Amino acid sequence: MLGNFEYKRIRSIEEGCLCLAEAAGKGAVLAGGTDLLVEIRNGLKSPDILIDCKGLDALNAFHVSQSGSSIGASVPLNRLIEHRGFHTIYPALADALISIGTYQLRNRATLAGNICNASPAADSAPILLVLNAVVDVIGIEGVRAISIRDFFTGVKKTTLKPDEIVTGIRLPERSDLRTAFKKQQRIRGHDLAIINVAGAYSPDEKTLRLAIGSCAPTPVLLDPIEVDSKDADAFASHVIEIVRSSVSPISDVRASASYRSAVLPILVKRILHELLPAGGGA
Ligand SMILES: Cc1cc2nc3c(=O)[nH]c(=O)nc-3n(C[C@H](O)[C@H](O)[C@H](O)COP(=O)(O)OP(=O)(O)OC[C@H]3O[C@@H](n4cnc5c(N)ncnc54)[C@H](O)[C@@H]3O)c2cc1C
């Protein structure tokens, strides 16, 4: 049973923000509904009103290019994944999005919904963190551009105010970056991540950025790591040490804390081998 709530298909963002403000914390934005409707059905959320933005053209638009991209909040994941240039320009983001649920689910689910749901295991979060994405938001007080680094504040919590709507996600120009995404799940096929890791290496700056999901209350972005080692094994140990000290895995239905701790270095090493010349050695 989904319970009782009002459903409103809005005709402007401003109308949506006003509705959310009037609902005083009891409103929710409906995108694909693949998280929200499940949570309502399971009694985890009980909004009085759902605000459906999918009819707004501006939120259904996206633009992908080497010099920076913007992805409207209502764009279903499959539209991105099936765009000709998307996989070429953002291979690791495409890998992360393809790993989300099933094809049918990705016909509904959105990138905005994935981050606004703020699961520590959200598959798009680590790669958006290493790409330094920006979340565009409108509320009754105006417009905000929030760095993805500041977006997640806890399990299922974000910095969004109750009247704010995400309008889109921007990816700054970083054509020099090499990126990779790795996900460990319980089964082949579709499953939430036990751990997900994304990396971005800048050959120009010789720095590596890593972000880890499902090992702390929020996805974790590490400070940039300088890649100047002559010894790949020593560099990997150094990186794994930094990673270990930055996360706090717990046991849950998907895996134990000790399993997560054992798998994490393996995923990190795979990222290093994929991204760095000689795995970070000379
Ligand atoms: C069977 C199944 C498998 C799944 N597998 C995966 C998986 O492998 N990996 C993964 O990461 N996730 C997975 N998910 C979770 C979910 O599909 C994704 O998080 C998806 O991207 C959510 O997008 P949505 O558009 O459906 O969001 P919705 O469910 O519509 O919304 C999610 C949350 O975001 C808020 N929200 C949505 N849009 C906005 C906006 N524009 N402004 C403000 N708030 C907004 C909603 O109010 C809600 O709180 C799975 C879910 C199911 C049911």
Report the run of H or E that residue 157 belongs to, with start and end.
strand 157-158
pLDDT at 132 over 80: yes
User: What's the pLDDT tens digit per position in 174-228?
Assistant: 778 999 999 999 988 889 999 999 999 999 999 999 999 999 999 999 999 999 8
Task: Look at residues 65, 41, 173, 167 and name the one whose alpha carbon lies nearest to residue 115.
Answer: 167
Distance 91 CA to ligand 1 centre (A): 21
Residue 281: pLDDT band (50, 70, 90) is: low
Residue 127 CB coordination number (10 Å) = 30
The closest residue, in CA terms, to atom 46 on ligand 1 is: 29
Tell the CATH topology of 178-280.
Enolase-like; domain 1 (3.30.390)
pLDDT at 282 over 80: no
Q: Does the pTM of the predicted model rise above 0.85?
A: yes
Per-residue tokens: 221 = 């972005």
Whether 171 is in the pocket of ligand 1, judged by its Cβ within 6 Å, is: no
Whether 120 is in the pocket of ligand 1, judged by its Cβ within 6 Å, is: no
Q: What is the pLDDT of residue 228?
A: 81
User: What's the pLDDT tens digit per position in 107-120?
Assistant: 999 999 999 999 99
Whether 16 is in the pocket of ligand 1, judged by its Cβ within 6 Å, is: no
Cα gap 231→129, rounded to integer Å: 27
Contact (CB, 8 A) for 109 and 76: yes
Ligand 1 atom nearest residue 167's Cα: 41
Q: How many residues does the chain have?
A: 282
Q: Are strands 49-52 and 152-154 parallel, antiparallel or unpaired?
A: unpaired
Q: CA end-to-end span of the chain, whole Å?
A: 60
Distance 75 CA to ligand 1 centre (A): 12
Better-predicted residue by pLDDT, 184 or 281: 184
Lowest model confidence (mean pLDDT) among 78-87, 185-194, 273-282: 273-282
Q: What is the pLDDT of residue 280?
A: 65
Whether 56 is in the pocket of ligand 1, judged by its Cβ within 6 Å, is: no
Q: What are the residue ranges spanned by the domains of the chain?
A: 178-280
| CB burial string 41-75: b at 16+ within 10 A, e below | eeeebebebbbbbbebeebeebebeeeebbbbbbb
The closest residue, in CA terms, to atom 11 on ligand 1 is: 122
Ligand 1 atom nearest residue 112's Cα: 38
Ligand 1 atom nearest residue 191's Cα: 8
Q: Which residues pair with 49 in a beta bridge?
A: 6, 27
Q: Given ligand 1 and candidates 44, 79, 100, which is best to mutate, with the most ligand atoms within 8 Å of its CB?
A: 100
| Mean pLDDT calculated for residue range 84-110 | 96
Q: Given ligand 1 and candidates 2, 29, 59, 190, which is best to mutate, with the most ligand atoms within 8 Å of its CB?
A: 29
pLDDT at 279 over 90: no
pLDDT at 49 over 70: yes
Contact (CB, 8 A) for 105 and 81: no
Cα gap 58→13, rounded to integer Å: 10
Q: What is the pLDDT of residue 171?
A: 96
